[in-house]
Amino acid sequence: MKIAIISDIHGNLEALKVVLDDIKSRKIDKIYCLGDIIAKGSHQQECCDLVRKSCEVVIKGNCDEYFTSDIDLTKKSEGEVKRIKWNKSKINEETANYLRNLPFCHEFYMSGRLIRLLHAHPERTDKFAGSIDKLERLYGLFLPSENTISNEKADVVIYGHIHTPYMQKIYNRMIVNVGSVGNAVDVFRNDEKDGNPLNTTVANYLILTGNYGSKDFNKKISYEMVCLPYDIDKELEGNKDNIEFDSYEIEMKQGKYRNMDKIYQSFIDRGIDKDKI
Ligand SMILES: [Mn+2]
């Protein structure tokens, strides 16, 4: 069984189409989506329509949750109010209702492993845990919570949210981040050390291959990360109405997150010396 796992499309239709075409060209049985179909890019409605048509399982991301909830605008800054209103205007009410009702998590066995799919973390759709974190925080990814389906620790956690793909083995368990289809970034940036941005600004997804439903650990399993170039300029052409066009363009073309101050603060919070990055 081959399952393609996509995440964090963020309204990028060109990237999503390239990914779905690539999936179609391989013998893949199912497509799962880990959320954040909306926010940021202009083609949010189109991406929701395509994901609903193509994916057997879709779970909820933090943006799917945030931009479809009742937000008290009186407590938000002027810029944030504009951002909320623009993003809310990009999807219709029926789609908003669909996103609101998405499940938090999905689980299955493959080649003996209990595989848990999450958007970001078992506790919340917006809790950040990534390769920059210490073991204790990474271990938290495997733990069950009131949001998970089973009360077991997962053998494999597959998630999105951080927009940078990676794999890491700890405690005989496996972490796989599938990266982002439509908004790939790399938070480790240094003008002297940076390589080709095309190594970041691709559409990323994962192909998981193994014995679906089997509780026999003694079976083959594989995790394949796919990186696909797509027509970024064409996608940006269709973003003329984007109220955050400038920062969006930098993310698309340089893979540099729009709010590096937030990234640097999270390095400081984690005890990482930002000057050594
Ligand atoms: Mn997210």
The band of 29, judged by pLDDT with boundaries at 50, 70 and 90, is: very high
Q: What pLDDT does residue 274 have?
A: 81
Q: How far is the CA of 58 from the centre of ligand 1 (A)?
A: 14
Q: What pLDDT does residue 127 have?
A: 95
Distances in Å between the alpha carbon of 263 and those of 91, 120, 135, 197, 258?
29, 16, 19, 18, 10
Q: How far is the CA of 230 from the centre of ligand 1 (A)?
A: 21
User: Do 212 and 110 touch, CB atoms closer than 8 A?
Assistant: yes
Q: How far is the CA of 106 from the centre of ligand 1 (A)?
A: 16
Q: What pLDDT does residue 271 have?
A: 86
Quick: pLDDT tens for 48-83. 999 999 999 999 999 999 999 999 999 999 999 999
- How confident is the prediction for the chain on average, in pLDDT? 96
Which pTM was predicted? 0.97
Quick: pLDDT tens for 145-197. 999 999 999 999 999 999 999 999 999 999 999 999 999 999 999 999 999 99
Q: How far is the CA of 46 from the centre of ligand 1 (A)?
A: 19
Structure tokens at 56: 């057997």
Residue-number span of the structural domain to which 187 is assigned? 2-276
Q: How far is the CA of 160 from the centre of ligand 1 (A)?
A: 7
Helix axes 44-54, 13-24, angle to 10 degrees: 20
Whole-angstrom Cα distance, residue 203 to residue 74?
37
The band of 16, judged by pLDDT with boundaries at 50, 70 and 90, is: very high
Average pLDDT of the residues in 214-239:
98
The residues that bridge with 173 in the sheet, in sequence order, are 170
Where residue 126 sits, what CATH number does that domain have?
3.60.21.10
Q: How far is the CA of 161 from the centre of ligand 1 (A)?
A: 4
User: Do 91 and 48 touch, CB atoms closer than 8 A?
Assistant: yes
Quick: pLDDT tens for 245-275. 999 999 999 999 988 888 888 888 888 888 8
Q: How far is the CA of 127 from the centre of ligand 1 (A)?
A: 9
Look-up: residue for tokens 């003694």?
218
Q: How far is the CA of 38 from the centre of ligand 1 (A)?
A: 10
Q: How far is the CA of 218 from the centre of ligand 1 (A)?
A: 34
Half-sphere exposure of 162 (CA within 13 A, CB side): 25
Q: How far is the CA of 130 from the centre of ligand 1 (A)?
A: 13
Q: Look at the chain and report how many structural domains it folds into.
A: 1
Q: What pLDDT does residue 146 have?
A: 98
